[in-house]
Structure 1
Amino acid sequence: MSYTPTNDPIDQGLFDITRTLLQQTDLCALAQALTQHVRQINLADSVHILLWQSESRRVYLYCTDDQGCDIRYEDEPMLANGPFRRMLSRPDVLHCTAATFQETWPQLAALDRYPSFAHYCLTPIAADGRILGGCEFLRTRDVPWTDTDFSRLQTLTQAAGLAVEQIQARLHNSDNYDLLWRERNDFRLLVAITNAVLSKLDLDELVMEVSREIQRNFGIDSISMVLRSDRKGKLIVYSTHYLDKDAPLHDQSEVDEKGTLSEKVMRNKQMLMLNLHHRDQHAPYERMLFDMWGEQDQTLCLFPLMFRDRVLGTLKLAQCKAQVFTPTNLKLLNQIAERVAIAVDNALSYREISHLKERLIDENLALTEQINNVATDFGEIIGRSSAMMTVMKQVEMVAQSNSTVLILGETGTGKELIARAIHNLSGRSDRRMVKMNCAAMPAGLLESDLFGHERGAFTGASAQRIGRFELADKSTLFLDEVGDMPIELQPKLLRVLQEQEFERLGSNRIIHTDVRLIAATNRDLTKMVADREFRSDLYYRLNVFPIYLPPLRERPEDIPLLVKSFTFKIAHRLGRNIDSIPADTLRQLSRMEWPGNVRELENVIERAVLLTRGNVLQLSMPDIDFQRASSAAPEAPVSDIREGEEEYQHILRVLKETNGVIAGPRGAAQRLGLKRTTLLSRMKRLGIDKNVLS
């Protein structure tokens, strides 16, 4: 109902009182405003507001006393059995004299809220066709109300009804807002704690993080996590006490499970809260709380840590002030305990996996010596890193096909081992794999070695020779360092790959062969193609299924396995008895870059085995750093290498000065400022054979 002020004094007064009533903040204030108004207009002497709760079928009374103090009669059964009950059956104005009121409702009349009065009137407050409550008007003067008076009382009741609806809506919205605000904050706290604890896989770190979050958000000063020990019948108690907020005291102890409060909670799978008094008899943990907090009484609360119907332990909280353990906080702490249980399960699983991993590594020590004799598809390949697992999956994927495989990787990464694994997993494994290093073969002899030659095909060809492609018929041919193959020989290799046929040197007879080719290189073939040092058509034919073999620095987790394998293999070969490797040595080796990859690592281990006295591997890290620093700073080249004949003469002179030694700190490659493989490639291109220098 809305009211619009007019020039009529009555209407103006009704508008003013309606506005006044709508400004009241609660029902007691509304009853007081109505009382003041009806007294001013001599309509009544006091007013009560009644509210009806249909769900519980109870009536609540709101009013003020003569001093203006609020009076609330909530949940009074006699109110529901008084005049309001009759009005529910007939929602109309109910009025009577004091005598009738006392006779009909004597218990209600005896209440101090109904002082001596002459006339009583109850008008209904209704909205949307239902009764919300009513207004009780009491008149002290023994003058009955007229019809006009009843009309005015009903009008005032309608205005009061608007105010009642507004007050209830405001309270309802306020309650909902408070509830939503609390739920939002609780949700944020749960998310924050969940993120904090689930990120901790180490059990000690998890305990500290749980204690820190609970103390910060609830002010609880003693937090313990009780978990079952590996020893039967024992519990491990991880405790944190915030005697000093900046320097909490951490404690870990093992106690008997039998008879403890944690045992009771784990058995019943329910929360337990109790008050502890320092004069009572207590278990050692509870006694310690009194000693720590100056004999103050404690409130102890224990929550079961359950995950998938499995009890992992308890979360034990102790506080001198019991006010922190309110029903709302207990509900929230129980939800936190559920999330902590998940984190504990993760941490325990992680610890178990770590123990199993260490056990597998230890077992691997004994098995490494026999690894070459084990009937395994991957032979000597050692590695459990994700990078190596990817390589092994690729090997399994391509092995059963006859597709050409190109293995890419730096020198010393074990490309030959991968080629051997592909062959062993293929249908050609019953025949021997044939291998050839293109960089180690002089250019003039490479073609003969690959395709064979007839007697008299060239000077020195005194007998017929079968080439590698013939030897590899129905098997696998592994071409290592294929990037160093002379460009003039590449078309013939391409033809074999495409047509599966070739001709021996000095013969025009076509030989058919069934060869599966696996090639490997440490060079960037795409750059070589761009520089016209490698044929693009051959590159695309080789690059059917590329496998990239990661360098050792990209899989440091495999270094401990390799170190242990090399140590026991080399020790066995040299007749040494080495059964232990210091953990610090493994960590230091794992942090090194290893530019020479697995080959360099094996050489370092071999030197360490030779220098070891006793059964514990002794590794001198300064010696390794010195050797690697020396190899990383080669001597400057004697002079620039020029093209044509001058280059030929220059390389030949340096080779003579080094007595044909190519690699090493005093070799020709270092003096020329070239890689060993680059020098060999140029020697092949220029037709220089170091073996004829002596």
Structure 2
Amino acid sequence: MSYTPMHDGEEQGLFDITRTLLQQPDLCALAHALTLHVRQQRLADRVSIVLWRAGRERVSFYSADEQGTPSIREEDALLATGPLRRTLSRPDALHCPWPTFRETWPQIDALGLYPPFAHYALLPLAADGDIFGGCEVVRCDDTPWSEAAFSRLQSLAQVIGLAVEQIQSRLSNNSSYSLLCRERDDFRLLVAITNAVLSRLDLDELVSEVSREIQRNFGIDSISIVLRSNRKGKLAIYSTHYVDKNAPLHDRSEVDERGTLSERVMASKEMLLLNLHQRDEHAPYERMLFDMWGEQDQTLCIFPLIYSDRVLGVLKLAQCKAQVFTANNLKLLRQIAERVAIAVDNALAYREIRRLKERLIDENLALTEQINNVAGDFGEIIGRSSAMMAVMKQVEMVAQSNSTVLILGETGTGKELIARAIHTLSDRNARRMVKMNCAAMPAGLLESDLFGHERGAFTGASAQRIGRFELADKSTLFLDEVGDMPLDLQPKLLRVLQEQEFERLGSNRIIRTDVRLIAATNRDLRQMVNDREFRSDLYYRLNVFPICLPPLRERPEDIPLLVKAFTFKIAHRLGRSITSIPAQTLHQLSKMPWPGNVRELENVIERAVLLTRGNVLQLSMPDIAFPPLQPARDEAADAPRDGEDERQRIIRILRETNGVIAGPKGAALRLGLKRTTLLSRMKRFGIDKDAL
């Protein structure tokens, strides 16, 4: 481009317009200032700036109307097919009349960016030898530009190029600086919130701190954290509402999960942003927002709380003014939700640790009764008879395995002692054996006692309870009187034995357990299977390694040993001093049938110790009475009293039997009922034996 010498007045004018152009805040303002200048100089009627976006094949257009209202088209692909593309390959200025413009670029003319004109010119804008855009000049006068006028426009284009470069640099720097400041402030906020929430291990304190930080930094007035409840199908909502900034309202509620917006977000794992209108139907939580904020429409934003690919719940934010949820705020709130998820996971882990500590307390209480301080591998088992020696060999053989053991024998033969010996000799002896008597537990509570329950699983379940199978993890569970287990519960026991997993009542969470089962019964399970009173598949699963305990009458040679052991143990407990037992007494005791087996023998010895005066055990044989194994009931005693209804009769018998239901001294036998029948009637009459 040739240089055209200018007079002093022209140079001063060029200097003035250069200073003016360099002061413009943006490209549209630059185009408007140029339009005013060329009109004043009678050079043209309108000016616009077009810039080439290298690498994207796009053109941006900047102009302004008569009042200075900006007109912008950012990175337009259609404009890239217009005059600027020709100028890029031909660096000279381009000018043509309107008919030629319309014929050459009809697609550009159709955009309506230019008012009616007579002549068009495009002056290239260059930097470091490369064209980066152009200055479009249109003239409404039919007279074309003179050579001098066009030369002045070309000189002006050099100044325009400098002005465009400076404006772009300034805007870029301002934008970068603003972005840097915003990122710095966002980072400080994230650090502050992270430090605030991660130090909160109590869930209620965590919710309060999260709400306080979000309200203070974003002005959001209703903040909730929604988590899955311990109750199946329920959501626990922890909310804080800043109706009064100085006295926020804290609320905790529980709702059904099905059909809620929280369920939708937890399933999709994506943020949900929507407007709530007062006229629409809403769930109770959303309805409460309208009531609280004077029926104003609400904008609701819900973020999933995800940690380690686990959806813990949602962060729910509600605000009357939707403008708070800008793109930048949503991005920042999403990052906050990620940190809140970590804090929630920590709080839940802390709550689980506290639950486990409480479980240890429960476990210790449940197992205190089973502490065995007796030395020796076989504990309190006493016997040298061939029958008992065979039993002990079986115990030694099976103890080191994890096989299920079924101990068979009459009442009082010492089945629990054999179970303890197996546990003591096993690799599980680091933890205490857990036991449960199936006959002593009402059928309705047996399942809860075995598998545990969640709070609210049934009426009266006011707190979570750990079941025996969970307590016996990595240990041994001894189920006494397994033959009295209800039929409907037997499949669940079978599942635990086969799969080593179960669910608490009121929960759908699978709990894995490693339990070695030892079962015992005094009933004929095979006959019960034939009578369809016991499941055959469970029987075969229990009968892996049966051990049959001989009744005391079949091992009389052990009776003297047992008598001596019981005498000295009971005497020591009662503070008595008994140093000898007459041989005649031992001989006579060895000849008796002992229908109650070892337990009955121990009771007889305890009575004798109480009656003994002196150091020699005194036992009066006529005082030892052996009732029949199934004693006849006193019909007169158990008959209903005058005016006594069935409910009152059951209550009376339960009180007389101290709440014992099954067994030879139980209420069921005295009432002439089956155990299950008695339990059913107790349930129908609303009788709680523990409350009697």
TM-score of the aligned structures, taking structure 1 as reference length: 0.50
